[in-house]
Amino acid sequence: MTRYEKVAGMITARIGSGALRPGDRLPSVRQMSRITGFSAVTVLHGYELLESRGLCRAQPRSGYFVTAVPPAPVTTPDPPPDDRAEDLHSQLLRPQQDRRFETFGAMWICDDLIPRAQADRIMRQSLRTGSRRLAEGLEPDGDLRMREEICRHIARRGTFAQPGEILITGSAIQACNLCLDSFTRPGDTVLVESPGYFPLLATLRRRDLKVIEITPDPLRGLDPEEFARLLAAHPVRAAILTVTNHFPTGVTCPPEVMERLVAIAARHGTVIIENDMFGDLGYRPGPRVTLRHFDQGATVVQIGSFEFTLPPEYGYGWVVGGLHKRDLLVTHYMNGHRLRDGFVQWGIARYLSGRSYDRQLRNLNRTLARRMQEGRAILTEALGGRGALSDPAGGFTCWLSLPAPLDQGVLLREAGMARTSFLPGTIFAPAMPDAGGNFAAALALNFSFRWTQETSARLRHLASLLSAR
C-alpha cells in the first residue's frame, strides 16, 4: 500500500465510523501532513483518490468536504442454526441476540409483564429537576431516599434494616462481586447450590476459590443436615444461597429450614450471601420470609435487585450489609465503583414510594403464576409422563429432569431450527462440565411468555425432540 493510499484509508475509516459525516470538512492538507508525517503532495494525492471514489469533493479556497459514506464491508453471515461447529456457549447467545428465539431460553422475564409508562413518566420528572440533584451530589452508598424505600420494601418479607445498612450497586451481579471481594481471598472455600444461577457461578470461576456444591431438594429446597455436614467437613468462608424462588427450579425453602440454615452457618462462622434477586417473584400463598429475617448477628448479607420487576435500565441491585456495611463500602470504593446517576435513583425512589409498584408486583405475580401453570400443563401432557418438572413457588423458570443424559448441544441446534430454545442443564453446574457431565439429563425453561398457539406449538415441538431421544 502506497503512502497516499494510507491517507485515503485513514479518511475512509473516519467516514465509515461516523467521525466524519457528509458535509464535514476534511483536515487541511497541511494538518493531515502533520498528523501522518507525509509530505503535502502525498496527502493531496490521497485526497484526489478519495475524490475519484466519490467520497469527497474539493471546493475552491475552502478545502475538501465529505460527500458520501463508503459502503459497509462485506461480513461473513452468522452460521445457520444447525451448524454443528457452533459450540454450546455460542448457541446460548441466540435468544439474547434474536428475539425470535427468546421463548423458553431467555434469561429475562417477558417484557409485557413490566409496564413502564408510569416509571418513565416519573423518570422524566426526575430529569427535569436534575440541576438540583446534581448540586446536592450522591452519597457513596447511593441515594438516601432510594435506600429508605428499599428498607420499606424488604420489611414486608421480614427483613428489617436501616438505610445506613444498605449499599446500592449497579446490578445484583455487581453486588455479589462486592461481597466476594469483601469476604473471600484466593484459596478460600465457597459453598454454592448446584444447580445454581449461572451468572453467579461464572464470577466464581474467575477467582481462585475452592467450590463446594450442595444440591437442593426439588420440593423442599436445601437440606439443613447436608448443609451442616459440608460446613463441618470444609472450612467454608462464604455460602451463596438462593432459598427463595430458586433459579432455575423456582423452589422456596420453608421458614423452619431457613432458620436452621442461619443457625448452622453462625455456629461455623460462615457468612451467607443470600441471593434474593428473585424474592419479589413469588406467587405461592403462605409466609414469605428470608434468611436475613432469622439473622441475629452478622451471618447473613442479603443481595436484592429490581432487575426482574422494573424496566432493564432501572434494574439496580443492593446489598443489605448490616454490621458488614462499612467493610463493603470501603471495598466498593477501592474497586473504583461510584454511582453517578442520582437522577435515576431519585426517580426510582419516587416510583417505589407510590402505590404503582406494589400494584404492578401483584399483577406480575398473578400473571406469572398463570403462565407457569399453563406451561407446566402443556409440557406434562406433551411428554406423556417422561421426565419430572419442578413445582415453582415463584420465579419464571421451571426445571425439567429427564430419565437419561442427552447431547444438549445437538438438541439446542435442532430446537433452533424451529425458532425455539431452552437453557441447558449443564450451564447450571459450578464446574461447567461438557455434555456428559452434571445435569446433562436436565434443562430449564422460561415460562414467563404469553401463551399463544405459536408458543404452545414450539413447546410441544421441543417435547417431541426430547421424547425422540
pLDDT tens readout for residues 321-366: 999 999 999 988 887 776 667 778 888 998 898 888 889 999 999 9
- State how far the Cα of 433 lies from the Cα of 376, in Å rounded to an integer: 28
| Segment holding 221, helix H or strand E | none
Q: What residue ranges of the chain are covered by domains with CATH 1.10.10.10?
A: 3-66
pLDDT in tens, 124-164: 877 776 645 544 557 888 989 999 999 999 998 889 999 99
At the topology level, CATH places domain 88-111+360-467 in Aspartate Aminotransferase, domain 1 (3.90.1150)
Q: What residue ranges of the chain are covered by domains with CATH 3.90.1150.10?
A: 88-111+360-467
pLDDT in tens, 9-24: 999 989 888 889 999 9
Of 178, 144, 107, 159, the C-alpha closest to 348 is 144
Of 222, 228, 226, 287, the C-alpha closest to 255 is 287
Q: What residue ranges of the chain are covered by domains with CATH 3.40.640.10?
A: 117-357
Cell of 16: 465509515
Q: CB–CB of 305/279 below 8 Å? A: no
Class assignment of domain 3-66?
mainly alpha
- What Rg, from alpha-carbon coordinates, does the chain have? 27
pLDDT in tens, 170-181: 899 999 999 999
Of 260, 256, 272, the C-alpha closest to 190 is 272
Q: How far apart are the first and last CA of the chain?
A: 57
The hierarchical CATH code for the domain 117-357 is 3.40.640.10
